[in-house]
Amino acid sequence: MADKGTLPQAHQIRDLINQLAVIIKTAQVYDLTNSTVQNALSRMAELVNDFVFSHDVLAIDLVGDYFYVNETRVRYSTQHMGNFDFLVDQFKAHDLGTLAVEGRVSAEDLSTFLQAFISSAGSKEPFLRLSEGLSSVGSLRIGPFKAAGGQDGGDLDMRKQVKRTYFNAVSYIKGVMSQIKTGEKTGMKRAKRIIESVVDRMLDDENLLIGMTAIKDYDEYTYHHSVNVSILAIALGQRLGLPKGELRELGLVALFHDIGKIEVPPEILNKPSELNDDEWEIMRRHPFWGLETILKLKRLDRSSIRAAITAVEHHITIGLSGYPRVSPAHEIDIYSRIVMIADRYDAMTSARVYSRTAMAPEKALQLIAKDAGITVDPLLTKVFVRMIGIFPIGTFVLLDTGELGLVSGGHGLSADRPSVMLIADQGGNRLEGTRIDLTEKDEEGRFLRSIVKTADPAAYGISLAEFLL
């Protein structure tokens, strides 16, 4: 057995890449239940588990036209050239750049991957389909394809990258919560990789990523909320000037802030009316349950300890009210203060089981600002309100021209005149999403368009997600 952390040997790498090509080729010819496919899957599982046992993680990355395994470039051989070329084409066809294994996998796990891989072929967005199909397999992680030199391959523009990063994070938190519920041992290694991608996208285009938090999935609120809070926390941390390493840690902490809710009975968590006193008492235990859950994860480190602290503190106000109760000398961690603001904002602006109508973003900001210095940190609140803006990205607005639009970006010099994506004309006819700048004026110096008011998209039969995506 190789020592942990040693470099993988060339023959191990070649065998893994070759066998991955073999199982995909075989699955394209035979049904997944066929003995030939099953034998190939068993062989692949054996190779993968031996590798992970020796090196902790298996990360297969396609960069340009070359594969790297754990950052070691795969040396092609004449014997395996056909399979290697085939696999490159398959990865690119699925917009797949990374396939990582973090933990033991079974032949059944690999069968799930194969099924998702085959079914997503030919899809308009194969990477998203593949990611959705893998949500139940916690030990597998995928990432989008990037061409050599850091440039995206083909038509993978920034908007697609941001979208994929967002849904990859949602898929992850959904999977890890499912793992914990079933008692499966898990860790934060994969989460760190995902948050690293989120931070990279934040540094690339803050507006696009913050805009994704306007997606509010009523049926999967908990998962979207966890990712939204993470994104908002990272954005606030970036505004505060935190270095990249701390942004990653903050994003990880925020992603796990509500992990304790997996212990809340579904009939309480999804109750369509207000909770009674006994039910509230149970709900208030979720910070402690979050603390316990995180401390039970594999391989505790600094980041997981910070996550445990925020899980237990994110409902404690700066005046030390809220829950759980703490001593008068307690000092709230800075990450907890940031997460509290992001958590409140996303919760207020989301439709919930007991409140189908979400609060307008500007109203939520007003309420949070009103509590500055009382329950939330005043300095952090000031920075957060300025970051989100008068008309946050994703706000549905009515213009003085009678057109309907969606705020798609801010304007540094005119906070009340953001860029807007038009989605309906004066007659209510759908538009293709033309983007306009509300600072534009006519020849006489008058603004071409202005915002009259914000509106509820549901009242117009419009889904924000349809346009944000």
361 neighbors 394 (Cβ within 8 angstroms): yes
Which tokens belong to 414? 């005119």
pLDDT tops 60 at residue 241? yes
Averaged pLDDT for residues 59-67? 80
Q: Give the span between the Cα atoms of 424 and 407, in whole angstroms.
A: 13
Average pLDDT, the chain: 85
Q: Give the span between the Cα atoms of 427 and 430, in whole angstroms.
A: 9
Domains of the chain: 1-155 (no CATH), 157-388 (1.10.3210.10), 396-468 (no CATH)
Token pair 């538009």 in the structure block, residue: 431
Residue-level pLDDT at 122: 77
pLDDT tops 70 at residue 59? yes
Q: Any idea which of 36-45, 366-375, 424-433 has the lowest mean pLDDT? A: 424-433
Strongest mean pLDDT among 236-245, 274-283, 346-355: 274-283
pLDDT tops 90 at residue 236? yes
**Residue in 468, 464, 394, 434 with CA at minimum distance from that of residue 167:** 468
Strongest mean pLDDT among 154-158, 266-270, 374-378, 392-396: 374-378
Residue-level pLDDT at 79: 64
74 neighbors 66 (Cβ within 8 angstroms): yes
pLDDT tops 60 at residue 3? no
pLDDT tops 60 at residue 402? yes
Residue-level pLDDT at 374: 94
Query: Which residues make beta-bridge pairs with 407?
Result: 420
C-beta atoms surrounding 427 within 10 Å:
7
pLDDT in tens, 426-439: 888 888 778 888 98
Q: Give the span between the Cα atoms of 82 and 85, in whole angstroms.
A: 5
Query: Which residues make beta-bridge pairs with 453?
Result: 398
Report the percent of the chain where pLDDT is more than 90: 39
* pLDDT band, residue 310 (cuts 50/70/90): very high
Residue-level pLDDT at 155: 36
Token pair 């009678």 in the structure block, residue: 402
Phi, psi of 259 (to 5 degrees): -60, -25
DSSP, collapsed to helix, strand or coil, labels residue 143 as strand
| Beta strands 451-454; 435-437: pairing state | unpaired
